[in-house]
Structure 1
């Protein structure tokens, strides 16, 4: 065997798995066909946050008078905003290169294909091929933008998230298909920069995986900044023959035609499992995902899969946790299986969204008797001082035992607050313990304590 572990893909699942393997004394190689850091660092989580920060700064400047500050009229330099975002991504990718060297992980650039007998073929960009082998092969090839049958991406007028980050010029108008995290974040970015944005969502609510109260609040916030939202609607076809796009949208009231410069398809992601050699190696898949057990073993001994290509939530932090769990099990440790009902989800719109655990609807469907508390940021001193009163914290407890079943937040910086709930749920904290944990004042995080107090009929500031 050339290596103890070969990792295919260097996204937040792959590179984290490789580093943990090296820390545990395993001779490790990682194969990457494009850029270290994968989609997350180069075309996903990180560069989008840079774009969103630019939009937020622009919004602050435009509303500076509300804070008693006089400014000249601000002008957004779209090309410079994109350039900054790419610079941030490049810096992060270089950081992963440093970590690979520091942890003595061999980086092999090329496209990998698994073979029977614990072997991997790697084809370099110049066409040369080599075969490497390892006792353990971890597949972490991630996902890509899902292409809808009636919405074929041409990369120019009908685009995916990747092109949306590097458009050569800012469109005057855009239709975004899908209102999950990707669609909603781009909607906020482009609308704030001055593009006329319309969201078309097939489900009844935007951000459909979130608690319905959160969806309703984001809808209000989006309308406030001029984003048009069409729910229970679907894009049937797009005519790109003219200078722009003519989008045929099916709604409850009938067909409508929307005209725009660009259509962004943000209908989720699909796993990269094609042309990987899975069939030849005998690795089982189902519904576009690789089948694995709780420690990420496939059905073929010595082959593992993590991240977006398996059935858990397609999130960077999930992929990282899976990579660590997988490698620790390989190394003979005894890691706990991941609790997929305690995974935080974050959406970086303004206001931000953060949630974990059961929604109210799901908790009721699971048969729990509930104590629900809600605290609006309009009643928060810190939120008022910050000029960020939109949103709330909603907590859901089991009435019988006080178990914290879920929490749903929408507001400024709530993505930084959700970890408190994740840890509390991991430690099986009760409502009374949360209520009696003194939170600092004035902070946004007080809203968690106050929402809990509301659930137990002890709220002070409402």
Structure 2
């Protein structure tokens, strides 16, 4: 029986373990913090649970417009009657994360996978040394090794996180009271999501961004919509402002900017990226190539430069998405154990930013289309033209589609709307299956629905030569 040893119990690790067990491998999975990894315990599950609460607050902000009020002697708006209990919110967040971790543990155990609580390191390419949580050490022979050890929040030497006032994204769930003023350093996906959530929970938020706009890595039109929404809601955005330090001053935090300005708040959330958990694991000694940043170099079937050693997830620096990590892990086991396998295709990856509104993308980006030698056809439909959006009082957002000239094959799309993470799936199917705008538009959508705008965009892209560049 083939011995498979997996280091890391996040999506890349536990999904790989399930596939390896299904294909007859003798599987050992080593995890030090809990099954599910950061995605379940401190990242995706907790953050999106917090955001779900913030979404309710966002809906309540439209209550007056929709005709919902509370009768009282004072302020009779619905929103004024809601009190945010952060301690209860965060308790629910962590309870859900723990429950998800237990579910994963039960699923792996039921498949006969050996679970070990501890730290593993490579001893060459055919052995893993495990230091158990109780201090004992064990050596395991391995025919196949998968490294899926994830990342750790990056910290600035001059902004050490203390878990009380200066926080990283793992520590924020320890708060029991709403910050009076939260300074979020970093305007990437993590920073934007937390800034959006706490702003919806009625916290005074200051977002420190080193770039011109929030979300510099996302669609520029989508980022512009989100920045406009943030500013209209009263969030202070300090663009082109790089934070160089964060220090405690009593019950306040002082964030110092590169130009000498100081920003004061009650709390600070550092969202300045992550570093891979690849140090002191024997990787380089085993012949595993690393990038300058410490990420593991892999090919499209998750192989590293060392024979028999694979890697998956955020430690590879491919895409910091749980869905990608899980697919990398599955592909690794399919390849290693001789099953049918297709290389990882990043053009088919859907991603989402869980702000209000959400931003979902798949396939070619606007920047790639603009730089392409092909005259990519595109269309943008504002959300406020959609009947369902009007009924729900939604104004901010759009649907954007890209297709090839002549053939009309859909190659990408962007959705900015509530629950864009759900709406992007039909576009992802179209990109993955190379559907044309005509094929796509001939299928029925529910009326009224937000998804109707996606079909309408496809219909408007139908032209005789498919080379029009349409913007409505």
User: For the superposition of Structure 1 and Structure 2, which TM-score range results when normalised by the shorter chain?
Assistant: over 0.9
Deviation, 1:255, is 4.3
Among 236, 248, 267, the residue aligned to 2:256 = 248
Deviation, 1:443, is 1.2
**Contact 2:160/2:246 (8 A) holds in 1:** no
Matching of residue 267 in structure 1 with residue 272 in structure 2: yes
Aligned equivalent of 1:333: 339
C-alpha separation in 2, matches of 1:117 and 1:365: 42
User: Runs of 5+ in structure 1 lacking a partner?
Assistant: none
Q: Deviations over 1:144-201 (max 9, x none)?
A: 2122344332333321101112223221011111122211111111112221111111
Aligned equivalent of 1:308: 314
Mapping of residues 2-13 of structure 1, within 5 Å: 4-13=3-12
Aligned equivalent of 1:357: 363
C-alpha separation in 1, matches of 2:60 and 2:418: 17
C-alpha separation in 2, matches of 1:362 and 1:236: 33
Range 27-36 or range 195-204, more displaced: 195-204
- Secondary structure of the 1:98 match is helix
Aligned equivalent of 2:282: 277
Mapping of residues 291-440 of structure 1, within 5 Å: 291-440=297-446
Closer/same/farther in 2, CA of residues 189 and 311 from structure 1, 3 Å limit = closer
TM-score by length of 1: 0.94
Note the aligned Cα RMSD (angstroms): 2.1
Closer/same/farther in 2, CA of residues 117 and 307 from structure 1, 3 Å limit = closer
Closer/same/farther in 2, CA of residues 170 and 323 from structure 1, 3 Å limit = same
Tell me the number of residue pairs that the alignment of Structure 1 and Structure 2 aligns: 458
Aligned equivalent of 1:132: 140
**Contact 1:199/1:227 (8 A) holds in 2:** yes
User: Runs of 5+ in structure 2 lacking a partner?
Assistant: 71-77
Aligned equivalent of 1:188: 196
Q: Deviations over 1:394-422 (max 9, x none)?
A: 11222243232321111111100112111
Q: Deviations over 1:371-404 (max 9, x none)?
A: 1111111111111222333211111222243232
C-alpha separation in 1, matches of 2:87 and 2:61: 19
**Contact 1:172/1:194 (8 A) holds in 2:** no
Q: Deviations over 1:184-226 (max 9, x none)?
A: 1111111122211111111222111111110010011112222
Deviation, 1:227, is 1.5
C-alpha separation in 2, matches of 1:369 and 1:172: 50
Matching of residue 70 in structure 1 with residue 69 in structure 2: yes
Aligned equivalent of 1:39: 38
Aligned equivalent of 1:238: 246
